[in-house]
Amino acid sequence: MGVLTPSFGSDVAARWDDFLWRYLTRRSGESDLLHTILEVDPGSGVAHAVAGLLAAVDGDKTFDAAAEARAARAGRATQDWERSFVAVAARTAEEGMWPAYDAWQRHAAAYPGDLVAFDMAGFLLTTSTRPDMFEGVEELVSRTRGAVGDHVSVLGYEAMLRQEQGRLDEAHALATRCLELDPPGSDGAHPLAHVYVESGDHAEGLAFLEGWLPITDQAAKFTTHLVWHAALHELQLGRGDAALERYLVCGGTRGPSDGTSLLWRCQLLGHVPPATDPGSPTMSEVIAPFTSEVPFTFVGAHVAIGLGTAGDADGLRRFARAASTFTAPGAAELLPDLALGFAAYVEGDHAVASDLLARLAGDFVRLGGSHAQREVFEDTLIHTLTHAGRLEEAAALLEARLDRRPSPVDSALLHRTRSPLTGVAE
């Protein structure tokens, strides 16, 4: 089948290929390319539909979601897959992501060569909080790779799935293949960074990133996430000052997730005093737009962390109340207790914090993101269990993690649980 291409003339088709590559592998410059395509071919239903997605999902203010949805429905769509794509994308622009969830999964299954749909369906699966989300990603990747072959964005997605499954050798091979196809691309660098984290190869992982970061597209939206990965290695190597330097680079650049979790980790480990934020913008400023509603639960979980970094227990309780009415899948179920657990933590009520977070531990995976991202919630649970004197439970969590991969930080924490008079970082 190959990659599906809209019904453009030959002059526009090459520009679409450039757009699709930028959209899938860089998230840099794709908006300008799409504007050019629409100037040359204003009648394309698919191009208008994608513009509506950029506005509604990616927050691209150079497009108007409702206007692009109308233009998409009125535009040219001569192939069956184009008509299907226009319908689901326009619905997303008009109603939001979650009302269109099932339609994206059906479209991606029917037309596995549609890589924009692959990207959307995968994103919705991994942020859905569904217990079977990884099984859904497995099916999606298998279908799409069967249709398009070794496309770097699909290989990168599969590599991420394999590292989540603990199949690190396979993830490493897939990531390496991505880097062969696209050396400065994050489709290979990102899963390889995860392999280094999950295998505990922190010195080697940091060396890889220090070599890769200078050659990648500095404007790409994912680049600073790899700076965040470098900071994780710095923390494991005991270089708190270096991790904080990287926080100042990646803190407020990709929304709430990277900066909040990195700053909170630095606070947990004593590299930054509690409720202190050396960044600009601060995490309180970054999360402010998301305290009354979140697009998906993963963002909400990091809003809770961000409020924790500010020591804002009252804000966390307000967020818990607000979250009970959120409509994103899983948000009303998972976020209130998470926020209340963080509120209790910053107030020093570790008996309550440990109860709330321990009750949620089995659902941390449903919060979304990667294992490396979700680990911050388990980190918080380990610290609050230790503060609460529940040392055997903290030690059991640490031992399970250390059985999976070496970690200097976890080894030090485990030692503290067995020597409680030494305490933990405040």
pLDDT digits (tens, 9 = 90+) for 110-158: 999 999 999 999 999 999 999 999 999 999 999 999 999 999 999 999 9
pLDDT at 423 over 60: no
Sequence ranges of the domains in the chain:
10-131, 150-246, 251-426
**Answer CATH for 150-246 from 3.30.70.100, 3.40.50.620, 1.25.40.10, 3.30.70.990:** 1.25.40.10
Same fold yes or no, 10-131 and 150-246? yes
95-106 residues labelled b (16+ CB within 10 A) or e (exposed): ebbbebbebbbe
Q: For residue 418, what pLDDT is reported?
A: 85
CATH architecture of residue range(s) 251-426: Alpha Horseshoe (1.25)
Question: What is the distance between the alpha carbons of residues 411 and 358, in angstroms, rounded to a whole number?
Answer: 21
pLDDT at 426 over 50: no
Give, as one character, the DSSP assignment of residue 254: B
Residue 15, classified by CB atoms within 10 Å of its CB into exposed (0-12), middle (13-18) or buried (19+), is middle
pTM above 0.85?
yes
Q: What is the mean pLDDT of residues 232-244?
A: 97
pLDDT digits (tens, 9 = 90+) for 5-17: 999 988 899 999 9
Tell which residue, 311, 320, 309, 298, has the closest CA to residue 370. Answer: 298
% of the chain at pLDDT higher than 90 = 95
Q: Going by CATH, does the domain composed of 10-131 fall within 1.25.40? A: yes
What is the three-class DSSP state of 256? strand
Beta-bridged to residue 254, according to DSSP, are 256
SS3 letters across 284-322 = HHHHHHHCCCCCCHHHHHHHHHHHHHCCCHHHHHHHHHH
Question: What is the distance between the alpha carbons of residues 341 and 199, in angstroms, rounded to a whole number?
Answer: 30
- Backbone φ, ψ for residue 337 (5° rounding): -65, -35
pLDDT digits (tens, 9 = 90+) for 265-322: 999 999 999 999 999 999 999 999 999 999 999 999 999 999 999 999 999 999 999 9
**Which residues, including other chains, have CB under 8 Å from residue 173's CB and lie 6 or more apart?**
none
pLDDT at 424 over 60: no
pLDDT at 422 over 60: no
